[in-house]
Amino acid sequence: MTGTAAIEAAALGKRFGRRGGWALRDCAFRLPAGRVCAVVGPNGAGKSTLLALAAGLLAPTEGAISVLGTVPGAARERVAYVAQDKPLYPQLTVAETLRMGADLNTDRWDASVAQRVVADGDLNPKSRIRTLSGGQCTRVALALALAKRPELLLLDEPMADLDPLARHEMMGLLMAQAAEFGTTIVMSSHVVAELEDSCDHLLLIGGGRVRLAGEIDELLAAHVRVSAPAQTALEPHPVVESRTTGRQLSALLRPSTPLDTDWHTSKPSLEELVLSYLRNPEASAIETPETAA
């Protein structure tokens, strides 16, 4: 374990209401600083809850979460967060929204960054927020977030309402931010393909628990897609998923020893890996050494 963790969670759980179900339970992971991390999982898996906990918007019901080496509430200045529905004050203009950002932040606020992000989207500073499209709102919300010059940027489904072109632009903006300032970016999505190219770290959440956590390369390298004749015994390798079609068995394994050379092996794609874990809730969770909390 080296350096400060951007986010570190231990036995983290959040339940809404006294009798409500657990949105998140027994979450333990460590996200090293400087990564671009994808938080992936199906709808209702607990991604938004996790990000809101990290942003200091919710108090954990049990366990603890630390952000940039401190409690989330103490890291507000250094953390930016963009919620899923990009809430903004509809009655304000774009320029007023940015002025509000300047008023609510410390001297870390960089007005020129905010203006550049807004100007790149051809937004009229005098337009009211309520007249903007979803994509334009995302841009304003992102301008507010980036002008904070955050060390940690939390984005909840940032690309959901963007067209492919805007998505590409926005991703470029974020990657430039990460490259230039070493900002740790955490973004959630239920579309894996959306994040595959830009992220180097993965946090897979399913049923309120962490299923996979680690560097994407390491996770992919730790798994093998195998084709073998049916009835082949796959032991002692832990099996994530196996399927038999006719005389053919195909499985996703986490090889613990060198594999049988008779088997056809291939590297799984990130999407395959994620889907295999989500389809098989009983497959044991895996964390690469660096991320074990």
Partner 1 sequence: MTTLAHPRPRPQRAVLRLHRPALLGWAVFVIVVCGLLLCVGGPLTDTAVMDPAKIQRYKDWNNYTTSAVLAAPFLIAAWSGATLTSRELENGTAQLAWTQSISPARWLTAKLALPAVLITVGSGLLVGLHHWAWSRGQGRTYAAKQWHNIGTYSANGTTVVALALSGLVAGALLGLLTRSSPASLAGAMCVPALLWGAVTLATPYLWPTVTTVSSLKLYTAGGSGMSVSEGLLTSTGARIADPGCGSDTDKTCRTLYEKLDAVSYFNDYHPYSHYWPLQLTATAIVLAVTAAMTVAAFRLLKRRTGPAPARKAAAV
Kindly list the residues in this chain that would bind partner 1 in the complex (CB under 8 A).
52, 55-60, 70-74, 76-77, 79-81, 83, 85, 87-92, 96, 99-101, 103-108, 141, 144, 148
d(CA 49, CA 52): 5
**CB nearer to partner 1: pick between 106 and 261:** 106
Shortest Cβ distance from residue 91 to partner 1 (Å)?
Answer: 7
Compare residues 105 and 291 and give the one whose CB is closer to partner 1: 105
How deeply is 206 buried, as exposed, middle or buried, from its count of CB atoms within 10 A (0-12, 13-18, 19+)?
A: buried
CB of 106 to partner 1, least distance (A): 5
Looking at the Cβ atoms of 96 and 218, the one nearer to partner 1 is 96
Tokens, residue 61: 């019901």
Reply yes or no: is the peptide bond before residue 258 cis, omega within 30 of 0.
no
Burial 106-132 (b: 16+ CB within 10 A, else e): eeebeeebbbebbeebebeeeeebeeb
Under a CB-based contact definition with an 8 Å cutoff, are residues 105 and 77 in contact?
Answer: yes
Which residues have a Cβ under 8 Å from the Cβ of 18 and sit 6 or more positions away?
Answer: none
In whole angstroms, the minimum distance from the beta carbon of 52 to partner 1 comes to 8
Residue with Cβ nearer partner 1 (188 or 291): 188
Least distance in angstroms from the C-beta of 93 to partner 1: 10
Smaller CB separation from partner 1, 14 or 35: 14
In the complex, minimum distance from the CB of residue 55 to partner 1, in angstroms, rounded to a whole number: 5
